[in-house]
Structure formats: structure tokens, C-alpha cells
Chain A
Amino acid sequence: MNTSWLFKMAWRDSRRSRQRLLLFMSAIVLGIAALVAINSFGDNLARSIDEQARELLGADLTLSWSRTPTKRIQRLLTSIGQDRAYEVAFPSLVSIPRTGGVRLAQVKGLEGRFPYYGDWEVEPRSAIATFRRADQQVALVDDALLVQLGAQPGDSVRLGELSFLIAGRVEKTPGQAAIAATVAPTVFVPNRYLAGTGLLQRGSRVSYKYYYQFAPGTDVARAIRPVERRLERAGINTDTVADRKRQTGRAFGDLTKYLSLVAFVALLLGCVGVASAVQLYVKEKVASVAILRTLGASGRQAMLIYLLQTAIMGLIGATIGAVLGSVVQLALPQVFGRFLPIAVQTTLSVPAVMSGIGTGVLISVLFALLPLLSIRKVSPLRTLRSAYEADTAGRDPLRWLAYGLILAFIIGFAYWQTRNLQLAGWFTGGLVVAFSVLTAVSLGLIWLVRRLFPTAWSYVWRQSLANLYRPNNQTVILVTAIGLGAFLIATLYLTQGLLLSRVELSGSGQQPNMVLFDIQNEQIAGVRDAVREQKLPILQEVPVVTMRLTGINGRSSAADTAKPIDQPQQSARTDTTGPPPWAFTREYRVTYRDSLISSEKPASGQGPYQANGNVYISVEKDFLSRLRAKIGDTLDFNVQGLPLQTIIGGTREVDWNRVQTNFLVVFPAGVLEQAPQFRVLMTRVPDNQTSARLQRVLVSRFPNVSAIDLGLILKTLDEILGQISFVIRFMALFSILTGLLVLSSSVVLSKYQRLRESVLLRTLGASRKQILQITAIEYGLLGFLAALSGILLSIAGTWSLARFVFEVPYQIDPLPLLVVATTVTVLTLLIGLFNSRDVLARSPLDVLRGKG
């Protein structure tokens, strides 16, 4: 085949349509831009994590634990590294006396030079030195907490028995994303004052951590290898820079990969636009193809000429997209903002750019192939008979091959991004369903318009409506393209509302919505009084006993100890026959009662009971399988020094989504009453003011008692969801804009046909105003149909989520949907009118003379 001639012909033939070709290739620009931006950002993030890995941890190594280690282990802990900093952390209510603000916060007592690496962003900076000197009762407080409590540096913050002067505002702690401060805002105090607060009581959930610094150049992993097994058996968690790098890298790697799928949706949308534009283009080119066929060109040659054109335009479109994406990625650190644990240095990512361009060319060619295949069948007979159309009709098995290639490409792309074949299959299936449903909805709406055609309406309306289903209409393609964008945005809003309503529902009716915990036995009467003083009900009072598991069916962690110390750790972790090692290092918080509560359902066996001197306990169903145990097995516990053997009597299913205490293990009554324990009390507060009042009373009378209410959970969740949906909305925006670009190119491509119609109408006496009205109504209707299709699909999708996944009653907030519908309709109308201005302005004579 004469390849150079094909290139020459592709070039010559494109001369008069390059602008239009570029316009329809512009549909892929935004999709590629989104893809390149997110992948470049992912690459830069991975590199930044690599470069700033030590700052993620703030040290070379951290060791953390929650139960007091033995003396030998304590000696071991203080023998590691060159320097170390110590941290004690626990949740507690903190208050600002000046403002009366109270909130549950994370309290951290620090000692030493934390952080060793990275910048602790504190305002003013001098506050860090004051804090480290530890010669005054000073605190550094997370910015989020100061804002919520209406406090500022210079105020004092009360922790239990002591008050601390707020010396500085913490903007960022090394290795911690800003969003973490929203979930658990922290008050840092010098560790030496912590004991004086009186908050470190029995039952408090305290965790301890050492931050270590090693001599420069030390291989930390190697240095701790000899003691790693001992630490693990003592329940001490090890976190090295390499571990943290891996975890953070994986988490963000996954995030950027999933977001790249959102970007890919925009690209596919653009490709649907390309396919539709190429179809129109091919229709115009049929006469030229017939001439070439008459002169002796083969069907394949003719098709290749136009395939080359689209591939070259695809290359240009993808390159523009890649350049744009490289610019957009500069803004992504701001978009992700509070989620990033480190500062991301953005540079050009060549792999992201190259793969973006490659993807763009390939997918646009695949989509363009669908209409281009018909070129092979154009008969030369058309040169003799212009009305001859039988050639391109009929079925073409190669079309199915093209569809197959497109599907394979989508699955391949999704797999390449996520490395998860099942997810790639779901993604592709979901897309096919969304496209099919949108197409079906738009076809249905067109059918309805036809069926219920209002013959009595004015001419302008009738003409506009008829335009929606005239020959060569672009209604289905536009409704699908714009509708998918509307669907994405509407679904985001509805899902966010659904998640919030699910949490709200968990505390509705007579369900508890406030939990008071860490109540010591001797405080319970006082706390009850404090609750009743506020005229609040005591809905539940639960005793909690902490214990450890020492054996399952007689096999214990001791068996594990017997293994040689140099045995690879991996074998212990992958041993799937015996009890899992973690079962013996964690702390168990259990309660005791003889019956199940409303959030529990019996699954198998019986509830907790005593019989024949045996203690039968109830274990949560999923937890039992993770323990690799079954009903009838024995579990040996150590209840703060005393051994206690139990038998698994039954399992329960637990609804964890309630504002109340739920337990993995429940003992029968009459066993643990004398064990050291603390209590949890649940109540229902009518409003935020009452909640704040009760918390103020608690913090002054029982400083170690903590409280959390539904309002706080909702507020935190709302903020996190707001941040997440902002990121997704940013990515979905590319889909919306692509939909509008497809609209623009479609309007321009069908301009010639419209010009002739408008001229004909004007020749027959239609005024300019009438033409304008017809155009405006047509595009307004098109936008409305697109928004309606997208919103209908979105309601169906979120209804299924509500019904089958979240199991909450479905309610929709019509306002955001109304905003989406109006915005999409108005934008479609404006873009339609803007691109049709030429049709409206052109003189009829120009067109009739063939200058159109």
C-alpha cells in the first residue's frame, strides 16, 4: 500500500476542515487534561513521599503500645537509638474557661525534641522552644480546636485539674494531614504536667509512644531486627520510615488511581462526542469517498485516509490536553489540601504525559473507527446516483470488533490503573449500564415528545420540539454526554446527604445521642446526678472491664514464644491454622449482662450464660471467624492479673452504626462484678446547648470523664465528606465541561444544515426573532432533557444505595437537584445560542449563492 500517498491525501483532504476536526477533537482535551493532571500529581506525590519520608514519621522509628510494658521491655525501649522523645496520648474533654467552650480532644503529653524531622508549624514559632523547655504549664493547640472553641493563643485551656497557657497555634504536625486535626484535634502539653491533671486514671484509653532518632546513616530496619520479635510479643507496634512511606504511598496511590478513573469517564465522554462528530463528518465525506473509489482507491485506502486524519487530530488534541493537564496539576495540591501529609513538589511527569497522549490517541481512534468503518462500504455508484444509500446500511461484523476493542481497552485501562481485575470489570460494567440507561432514557423522552406532540402549540414551539427528532439529530448523543455530567454531580450531592442522614438516623427517635465514658465506679452516682440535673434521661449504663486473651483452646501466645527467635516473622503471620498472633496482643473491653440489646441480634448458639460452673460468653460473629475459633471453643482471659476460662456459647450480629457502646465479647452477669471496671452512660440531649451545658458540668466535676455527642460526629463527618466531595467534584467538573464541549462541537458541525434550514424559513417569511426563539427553545429543551436524564439516573442509583446498602429511608433534598437542572439547562441554552450566532446573522442570499 502506498503509505505516503495516504498521508498526503489525509493532509490535503483535511485542508478545508481542519478547524472543525480540531473542534471535535477538543472533546478529548479535558479528559486527557484530567487524566494527565491526576497521574502527574500521583507521580509527584509518590516522589515527594519518597523524598520527605522521614518527615512523615517525624523520627527514624516509633514504637507504640497501650499496656504497661514489663521492666525488661522498658529497659529495652530506653536502650534503642541515639535520642528519643516520649509521648502519652489519650482522649479527654478539654475546656476554655474564658469562652466556656468544651470539646472532646486528643491530649498528648510530650517530652524530648519531637519532631526530629520536618517542620512543626506553630504560630508563633517561639512557642516551640517555650514548650520544649517545659518549665511552665503551656500548651500548643491545633488550629481547628481553637477555632471550634473560640479560643486563641494567650487564653488558657483546662485539662482535668490543671490549666495551661495556650502558647501557640499548631497549623501542621509533621506527617499528619490537616484533615486529621478535624477528626481528632490535639492539645500538646509537656509530659511532666500530665500526671497533675488527674486524667490518667484506670480505664482511660491511654497510648504511649517513643520517637527515636538514630545516628545518620543507620539502617534502622537492620538495627531493630534482633529485638523485633520481642517487641511484637510484648504488644509493641513498630513503625519505621520505610513502613510509613509504604503505607502513605499505597493510600495515596490508591486514591489517585481511583480519581484517574473519574478522569477517564470524562475522556470516554469526549470520545463519545468524537464518535458522533466523526459520524457527521463521514456523512459529508461520502461523496468524496465515492469519487476516490471510482478512480480506483480501495475501501481500506479510503478509510485509512480518514482514520489518519482523526489519529493526527487525536494526537494534537491529546497533546494539548497533556499540556493543560500538566498545568492543572499545579493546582491539585490546593485541591487535596487538607488530605496531604506532606508538601508536594510539582514538576512535569513525563510518564504521565506520554501515557496520557498514548491513551488519548488510541481511545479516540477506537471510537472514531465505529463511524469510519462505513467508509469501506461506500459504493462508487454514488458518483452516478447521488441518492444511492444502500451501501452503508446493513450490518458490518467489524463494528462488533470495534465495540469489543473499546470494551477491552476500557477494562485494560481500569486494570492498569487499579491492578484489580474485578474492580476493572465493575467499572466497565457500571459505565456500560450508565451509558445504556442514559441512552434509553433519552430515547424514551424523544419518543414521549413525538407521541405527545402538542399540535395546538405555536409554530415556534412545534418547530423546536420537532428539531429534537429530525433526521441527523444529535439529541441522544448530547443528552448522554451532558446527562452523564449531571448524573455525576447529582449523585455526589445525593450520596453525601444519604451518608449524613444515615448517621442522623442512628440517633433519632429515642436512641441515645450522647455517650459519657471513662466513668470510674466511685463517680457513677455523681455523674447520674449531673445528668438528671439537666433533666436528661439515663438510657443505658454499661460496665466495661478490660482484659487480655491468653489462650484459645489451650493454645496460647506462649506457644508462639517457644518458636526460635530467628524464625522469619512472615511464617507466624501467614500461619492460618492456629490462633492469630494479634489476638493475644490486643486489649479486650468487655461488658457483662444476660440479655442482648436492641443493636444486637443472635446469630448462632445462645447469649451469655452460666451453667455447671462454666462461663459461656457471646462473641461477635465476624470477630469469631477472625479469631479462627468456633462455638464450644475455650477462651482463656487474664482479667487484670486473674486467669478466667470461658467457653464460646454463641455469636451475635452487631449494628455498629449507633451512638452507643457495642462489644465484641459479652460475659454473663455474675462473673465480672468484682473486677476493676469503669462505666459508660448513655443519654439523649435535645440540643447543642444542653449538650454543651452538661459537658461543662462534667469537665468541672469529673474531669476524667469524656463525652461525645452525635452533633460532633455529624459535624466532623460533614466536614470530611465536604472535603472529599470537593476533590471528586473537581474531577467530575471535567466531565461536565467535556459534555458542554461536545455540545459546542456538535452545534458547529451541524451548522451547515441549520444554516440552510434557517435560510429556508427566512425565505418563507420567518423573522429573525422567530429563528432565535426556535433555537433557544430547542437548546433549552435539550439541556433540560439531559439534566432530567442524569438526575433520574442519579435518583435511581442513590435510591438503590439507600435501600440495599445503607438501609435508610430515601429522602431527597430537591434544592441541589434544582440547581443542577437549572445550571445545566441554562449553560446548554447559552452555548447553543452562542455557537448558532452565525446562523442567525448570515444573510439568506449568501447561503443561497453557496457562500455558506
Chain B
Amino acid sequence: MSILRVEDLTRTYSSGGRDLTVLHGVSFAIEPGDTFSIVGPSGSGKTTLLGLCAGLDRATSGSVYLNDIRLDTLNEDQRAAIRNQYVGFIFQNFQLLPTLTALENVMVPLELRGEKGAKQTAQSLLERVGLGQRGHHYPTQLSGGEQQRVSLARAFANRPKILFADEPTGNLDTDTSATVIDLLFELNREAGTTLVLVTHDLDLAAKTNRIIRIKGGTMANG
């Protein structure tokens, strides 16, 4: 059984009375534990594809199956529950809640599931990413690299089956990028999570088992 299966996916936006197709007829499947990159130039539709795969958006046509659950038949709240149960996220701009401390940010997915011992789990994850002493700091008090490490801890907090990372090093300098990427792959390996990486950095993409290229909204190869 594939952890993620995409069938003939198309996404069209209406803009100024005109229809704009940003993704057209994309199909692929990813097996559990696999690492996978989506690459392509800016505006090629790769972020749109990630949003659809993670259930953040709905396709105009075609289907997305995540852990064999068809996402496009679910409403937004049902998809949110699926995300909380199976999905982890890493964003280019970290997307930490600014009003919460680092520790509280990591606790959110666990608390949403109503899990007991969220604080201990979050603390050990922060220690795992090397920020055990920084849990009480707010995002604005952390550097970019530190924020992305908190983001990594949060992404693995709910033990996701699949992790989506959107340009995870896009806002980081070279040295910090290397540290974060090493940590990402390490955690991924330890947890046995499927990793879907969106990037335009071909060196980074090369670290994954499979690469698909998107150009003008269609798959260049599989």
C-alpha cells in the first residue's frame, strides 16, 4: 500500500475572470519510508502540488490518497484531523506561532490530539534538536536556524507517517542549512517517516531516493 498516491491531479485557479491551470494531470505514488523530492523552477506548481498532497488545498480534478484515505472527498475540518494524525510539516519561513514559546509550539500537535505527557515529549524532542535549554524562548528570541529546529521538533511531535518540507533551507545560510538538513534526515531515518521535499536546490534533492520534476504544471519525468 502506498502512503501517498496521486492520480491525474489538476488544479485551476480563477483570476480576473480567467482560468489559470497551475497543475495538470500529475500522477505518482510514494511508498512508506521513502524519501522523495519535487523539484522545479519558481512558479512551476511544486508548492501547489505539496499543498494538495498534504490536504491543505483541494484539487480541481483528480484524487489524492493519503494512507489510503481519499482526501478530496473530505471537508476542511476532516482533512485537518487527518493532518494532525498522519502529517508533519516544515516550512521555508518556519511558521511558528509567535505568541507561543518554543516548547509550547512543539506541544501544539500533541495537545490537539489530547495526548497526555505532551510537555515531556516536547521537551525531549527539543533536546533531540539541541534546544533543550531554549524551550521558554519565543520565536522572535531565536535565530532562523533555531526556529527551523523547533519547527523540526514540532513536525516529528505527532509521530507522522509522512513529512512535507517546503524549501526547508530557503531562509537559512549555507552552514545552518547543512545542520538543519542533516538533522532532518537523521530524525526521518530514526522515525521511519516518509519524506516529501519541495525544493529548487538540486543538491538537496539528490539526497532523496526519488525526484520528480515539475515544469509548467506538468511532470517532466517520474
**Contact in complex: A384, B114 (CB < 8 Å):** no
Residue B127 is within 8 A (CB to CB) of chain A in the complex? no
* Contact status of A292 and B83, CB under 8 A, knowing A384-B47, A384-B50: no
List B contacts of A12 (CB < 8 A).
99-100, 104
**Contact in complex: A294, B95 (CB < 8 Å):** yes
**Contact in complex: B98, A380 (CB < 8 Å):** no
Residue A835 is within 8 A (CB to CB) of chain B in the complex? no
Residue A492 is within 8 A (CB to CB) of chain B in the complex? no
Residue A238 is within 8 A (CB to CB) of chain B in the complex? no
* Contact status of A292 and B81, CB under 8 A, knowing A13-B97, A299-B76: no
A5 to B119, CA, bound (A): 13
1/0 per residue, CB under 8 A from A, across B151-174: the answer is: 000100010000000100000000
Contact of A291 among B76, B81, B95 (CB under 8 A): B95
Residue B108 is within 8 A (CB to CB) of chain A in the complex? yes
CB contact list, B84-102 vs A, under 8 A:
84-85, 89, 91, 95-100
Residue B31 is within 8 A (CB to CB) of chain A in the complex? no
**Contact in complex: B109, A384 (CB < 8 Å):** no
A292 to B154, CA, bound (A): 12
Interface residues on B, range: 20 to 34
Closest approach, in angstroms, between the C-beta of B61 and any C-beta of chain A? 18
A296 to B166, CA, bound (A): 18
Residue B112 is within 8 A (CB to CB) of chain A in the complex? yes
Contact of B91 among A17, A297, A301, A383 (CB under 8 A): A383
CB contact list, B126-148 vs A, under 8 A:
138, 140
Residue B51 is within 8 A (CB to CB) of chain A in the complex? yes
List A contacts of B47 (CB < 8 A).
384-385
Residue A72 is within 8 A (CB to CB) of chain B in the complex? no
List B contacts of A13 (CB < 8 A).
97, 99-100
List B contacts of A300 (CB < 8 A).
77
List A contacts of B112 (CB < 8 A).
2, 5, 295-297, 301
List A contacts of B91 (CB < 8 A).
383-384
Residue B57 is within 8 A (CB to CB) of chain A in the complex? yes
**Contact in complex: B51, A381 (CB < 8 Å):** yes
1/0 per residue, CB under 8 A from A, across B46-75: the answer is: 010011000011000000000000000000
**Contact in complex: A296, B98 (CB < 8 Å):** no
A50 to B190, CA, bound (A): 80
Report the nearest B residue to A298, measured CB to CB: B77
Closest approach, in angstroms, between the C-beta of B72 and any C-beta of chain A? 15
Residue A16 is within 8 A (CB to CB) of chain B in the complex? yes
A14 to B104, CA, bound (A): 14
**Contact in complex: A291, B97 (CB < 8 Å):** yes
A380 to B89, CA, bound (A): 12
A300 to B114, CA, bound (A): 16
Residue A8 is within 8 A (CB to CB) of chain B in the complex? yes
A379 to B100, CA, bound (A): 21
Residue A502 is within 8 A (CB to CB) of chain B in the complex? no
Contact of A16 among B57, B85, B98, B111 (CB under 8 A): B98
Contact of A383 among B56, B84, B109 (CB under 8 A): B56
Closest approach, in angstroms, between the C-beta of B34 and any C-beta of chain A? 22
List A contacts of B56 (CB < 8 A).
294, 379-381, 383-384
Instruction: Work out how many contacts link A and B, with CB atoms closer than 8 A.
Output: 86
Residue A288 is within 8 A (CB to CB) of chain B in the complex? yes
Closest approach, in angstroms, between the C-beta of A785 and any C-beta of chain B? 34
Closest approach, in angstroms, between the C-beta of B9 and any C-beta of chain A? 15
Residue A15 is within 8 A (CB to CB) of chain B in the complex? yes
Residue B80 is within 8 A (CB to CB) of chain A in the complex? yes
List A contacts of B104 (CB < 8 A).
12
* Contact status of A5 and B99, CB under 8 A, knowing A298-B77, A381-B57, A384-B166: no
Report the nearest B residue to A300, measured CB to CB: B77
Residue A209 is within 8 A (CB to CB) of chain B in the complex? no
A383 to B84, CA, bound (A): 15
A294 to B81, CA, bound (A): 10
List A contacts of B50 (CB < 8 A).
384
Report the nearest A residue to B92, measured CB to CB: A384
Closest approach, in angstroms, between the C-beta of A377 and any C-beta of chain B? 9
Contact of B99 among A2, A288, A290, A379 (CB under 8 A): A288
Name, among A15, A290, A298, A384, the residue most crowded by chain B CB atoms within 10 Å (CB to CB).
A384
CB contact list, A370-426 vs B, under 8 A:
379-381, 383-385
List B contacts of A298 (CB < 8 A).
77, 80-81
List A contacts of B114 (CB < 8 A).
2, 5
List B contacts of A158 (CB < 8 A).
none
List A contacts of B76 (CB < 8 A).
293, 299, 379-380
Report the nearest B residue to A14, measured CB to CB: B99
1/0 per residue, CB under 8 A from B, across A286-316: the answer is: 0110111111111111000000000000000
* Contact status of A297 and B80, CB under 8 A, knowing A2-B114, A384-B56, A384-B91: yes
Report the nearest B residue to A289, measured CB to CB: B97
Closest approach, in angstroms, between the C-beta of B78 and any C-beta of chain A? 9
**Contact in complex: A294, B97 (CB < 8 Å):** no
A746 to B89, CA, bound (A): 36
A9 to B111, CA, bound (A): 10
1/0 per residue, CB under 8 A from A, across B13-57: the answer is: 000000000000000000000000000000000010011000011
Closest approach, in angstroms, between the C-beta of A12 and any C-beta of chain B? 5
Residues of A within 8 A of B (CB): 2, 5, 8-9, 12-17, 287-288, 290-301, 379-381, 383-385, 850
| 16 A-B residue pairings within 8 Å (CB atoms) | A5-B112, A8-B111, A9-B111, A12-B104, A13-B100, A15-B99, A16-B98, A290-B95, A296-B158, A298-B81, A300-B77, A380-B56, A381-B51, A383-B89, A383-B91, A384-B91
Residues of B within 8 A of A (CB): 47, 50-51, 56-57, 76-77, 80-81, 83-85, 89, 91, 95-100, 104, 108-109, 111-114, 138, 140, 154, 158, 166
- Other than the given A2-B111, A16-B138, A296-B109, 4 more pairs (CB < 8 A) read A16-B99, A295-B108, A301-B112, A384-B91
